[in-house]
Amino acid sequence: MSLIIKDVFMIPEKESETHKPWMRVGIAFINKDSSMNVILDAIPMSGKLHIRERKTKSTDKGAYYENK
């Protein structure tokens, strides 16, 4: 089984109609038993995290994703 890595993001609360970018704050690893280990580089003030599949380098926008 290959190592499955996911990215962990902090999504800012919406303030007015301006869209703020998502900020990558860590990574998550899927274990053999389907549990998950999360390693954070920062802790969001809201306490809310979003974990999603890692994008390939050809389509990766880096550490930021547009919040739409």
DSSP secondary structure string, 35-53? -EEEEESS--TT---EEEE
**Domain-located, residue 60:** no
The number of distinct structural domains making up the chain is: 1
Does residue 46 belong to any structural domain of this protein? yes
In a domain, 16, yes or no: yes
CA dihedral 21, 27, 33, 34 (to 10 degrees): 10
Residue 61 lies in a domain: no
Q: Are 22 and 62 in contact (CB under 8 A)?
A: no
Higher pLDDT, 9 or 3: 9
This prediction's pTM: 0.68
Kindly report, residue by residue over 19-48, the tens digit of the pLDDT: 677 889 999 999 989 899 999 999 888 888
Asked if residue 7 lies in contact with residue 52, where contact means CB atoms within 8 angstroms, the answer is yes
Domain of 43 in residue numbering reads as 4-55
Inside any domain, residue 62: no
